[in-house]
Each structure stands twice: as C-alpha cells, then as structure tokens.
Amino acid sequence: MTEAVFRTDAYAQQIASRVTGHTPEGGILVDRSVFYPTGGGQPGDNGWVEWAGGRLTIATAVKVEGGQIALVPAEPLALPPVGTELFQRLDWARRHRHMRMHTALHLLSVVIPLPVTGGQIGAERGRLDFDMPDPPADLEQLTRALNALIGRDLPVSDDWITDAELRANPGLVKTLSVMPPMGQGRVRLVRIGAGPDQVDVQPCGGTHVARTGEIGRVDISKIEKKGRQNRRVTVTLTA
C-alpha cells in the first residue's frame, strides 16, 4: 500500500519517496504520496517530481488496486526506474484552495440540513446537490449563515471509527449516492468544532483546512434545479 501522507498531514507540500512500479497507462507507483488521488468529489493533486537526472510535471494522481497511488505525468516521457528515490512537490496554491472549498462544502451541509445526492470540489467553486423539493426562499440569508459559521474559526480535526460503529450510526452519512469506503476495518471522520461547539461530523477521506477561518469569505452564487427534487447549490471562493 502507498502511505497517504496527505491524510496525516494535509499541509505537507513536498516529500521524498521511492518508485515501486509503473502502471500500464504510464503512471508512477510510489511508496508514499503527498499527492491526493482523485476521489470523493475532490480532484487529484498536480505538481512535479524530480530525481537524479530527471524531472516530470504531474497532472493528477489516481487510486490503483491494492491501496496504491499512481502519479500521472502530464506528458508521455521517460519514467524514473523502479527503486529510484523521488522528490515530490505539490502545486500548493491549487491544493490549498481545494482544502478551503472542501471544508466550506461540509459547512454548507450544516446550513442546508438535507440529504446530499452529489458534489464536486474545484479550486474556484464547488457544489453540493441536495434532495431539495423546493428552493430556499432567501439565498442571501444562506450566504450570511455560511460565512457566519466560517467566521467562528472552528477547529477541524479527524479521528477514526470502526466499520461496525459506522453501521450502528447511519446518521453520520449525509450522502445518498455515495457510501464512505468500508471494508478495511475503520472509517475516517472529519469533525468541525469540538465539544459544545461541534457543528458537523461526517465520514470523509479528503483534505481540509485546520480551522474554518482559513476558508475566507464565500458566496453561494446560484441554485439550479437538477431533477424533480434535486437542486445544485454552487459555492464560490471570493478570494
């Protein structure tokens, strides 16, 4: 398995690693990764890798069978051989915006306490789809409520529960269309706030900021009807 450095330290921007193999499609398998692989509505990270005598731009990262992560080069150039010591470096500006947006969308699910049917994270905007028969009456009020939560500068932390504990607490899962990954014995929970100030807790494998104040101001830019009861709420980072 690839050690997911981004999961234990979302602020790590560069690491040393070793090449463990190559995929048939030309991806680089590594023993540890600072690159988040596409999944859960969050895009894979991009950046660069370097080794003695070579350098590649990385377009994204993907999950591979067996718990491995492959770094996908932007161009079909020569790959570093198996066993090579590889230096990984993120496009940190893009990753950090994904972290800000991901945490903002968790807070959006607090402001709109309805079942989530889908979602997508971007560096400029993100969205959640809700099982929402009727549109909210006041879009500006929703934006104010979301920014008020952000402005409380609540801590964001994570911990783990067992698969059995999650099955015993189905209310932790807000998404209707996608279940959190199970089968490895434990599931990661992301918690916003602590003690009496906790506002949200839900299963999530993505990267988040350490405190909500780091998100900055956001705008709920539009709500679109996407089916009989499905509505898409788009959030934009304003800075």
Spell out the domain ranges in the chain. 3-90, 95-237
The mean per-residue pLDDT over the stretch 150-161 comes to: 94
Q: Which burial class, exposed, middle or buried, applies to 28 when counting CB atoms under 10 A from its CB (0-12, 13-18, 19+)?
A: buried
Instruction: Identify the pLDDT of residue 27.
Output: 97
Rounded distance, CA 42 to CA 98, Å? 7
Nearest to 209 by CA among 44, 98, 124, 90: 98
Neighbours of 59 (CB within 10 A): 14
Residues 35-69: pLDDT tens digits? 999 998 999 999 999 999 899 999 999 999 999 99
Instruction: Identify the pLDDT of residue 169.
Output: 79
Confidence of residue 173 (pLDDT cuts 50, 70, 90): confident
Average per-residue pLDDT for the chain: 92
Confidence of residue 181 (pLDDT cuts 50, 70, 90): low
CATH code given to domain 3-90: 2.40.30.130
Rounded distance, CA 177 to CA 128, Å? 12
* Helical packing angle, 139-151 and 92-111, nearest 10°: 120
Confidence of residue 103 (pLDDT cuts 50, 70, 90): very high
The mean per-residue pLDDT over the stretch 20-47 comes to: 96
Instruction: Identify the pLDDT of residue 182.
Output: 54
Confidence of residue 186 (pLDDT cuts 50, 70, 90): confident
Is the pLDDT assigned to residue 89 strictly greater than 70?
A: yes
The percent helix, strand, coil of the chain (3-state, each to 5) is 20, 40, 40
Is the pLDDT assigned to residue 82 strictly greater than 80?
A: yes
Instruction: Identify the pLDDT of residue 8.
Output: 92
Count Cα neighbours of 2 within 13 Å in the Cβ-side half-sphere.
29
Nearest to 99 by CA among 117, 120, 69, 123: 123
Confidence of residue 233 (pLDDT cuts 50, 70, 90): very high
Q: CATH 3.40.50.1000: does it fit domain 95-237?
A: no
Confidence of residue 114 (pLDDT cuts 50, 70, 90): very high
The mean per-residue pLDDT over the stretch 78-92 comes to: 97
The mean per-residue pLDDT over the stretch 205-209 comes to: 95
Sign of the Cα pseudo-torsion (102, 131, 158, 64, in order):
negative
Instruction: Identify the pLDDT of residue 176.
Output: 56
